[in-house]
Amino acid sequence: MTKAALRRAALARRQALPAAEVAQRSQQLCEQFFRHFPVAEWRWLHLFLPLSQRNEPDTWPIIRRIWAEQWPVRLAVPVVQPDGVSLKHYELAPDTELRPSRWGIPEPVAQAATEVAAATFDAVLVPLLAVDTAGHRVGYGGGFYDRFLAQCRPGTQFIGLNVLDEEPVPALADVLPTDVPLHACLTPSRLWRF
């Protein structure tokens, strides 16, 4: 199956979810995340802030738990750059000022936030719509995350989050040489490792 076909189908299924269902599944993702990964051993975790109108997984339960329990791991989130193709990454702390981007994604105000290099991260939580059994993901098609993940240091864990409780598809028909596979994918009910 092609990425475009999977993207259309997954977006339709995800958009059909009521907000309360997305919230419940996001909480299950949070529980799965802390159950399966050594978060307390990491120094830096990169995650995305959700685009709620697209029913993306809500990462705020993960963020709030790390802050509430005062885990030593520091957090960073991406900011799309004016060139429209690259990301920079900024530390996210309880006092970080956030503003919506042109897409409605909350982003740190760059002038007031600390930039963090891609090679710093121990793990990256990656948004996705679908994934195959080799860990190749289907996102929105912009290539932002593939370019970013290619800059991370060897050993960084790439973990997909999907509110759709679906198994990986057998194989994507149009994997590119620049596609960076995930190491794992969490759904509300289970963990897949690749």
Tens place of pLDDT per residue across the chain (194 aa)? 899 999 999 999 999 999 999 999 999 999 999 999 999 999 999 999 998 889 999 999 999 999 999 999 999 999 988 887 789 999 999 999 999 888 788 899 878 889 999 999 999 999 999 999 999 999 988 888 999 999 999 999 999 999 999 999 999 999 999 899 999 999 999 999 99
Within 8 A by CB and 6+ apart from 3, the residues are 138, 141, 172, 174
DSSP line for the chain = --HHHHHHHHHHHHHTS-HHHHHHHHHHHHHHHHHHS-GGG-SEEE-----GGGT----HHHHHHHHHTT-S-EEEEEEE-TTSS-EEEEEE-TT--EEE-TTS-EEE-GGGS-B--GGG-SEEEEE-SEEBTTS-EE-SSS-HHHHHHTTSPTT-EEEEE-SS--PPBS--TT--TT----SEEE-SS-EEE-
Do 52 and 58 contact (CB within 8 A), yes or no?
A: yes
Given this model, what pLDDT does residue 1 score? 84
Given this model, what pLDDT does residue 83 score? 83
The model's pTM: 0.94
Do 42 and 122 contact (CB within 8 A), yes or no?
A: yes
Domains of the chain: 3-193 (3.40.50.10420)
Given this model, what pLDDT does residue 192 score? 97
Do 163 and 56 contact (CB within 8 A), yes or no?
A: yes
Strands 123-127 and 157-161, by their bridges, are: parallel
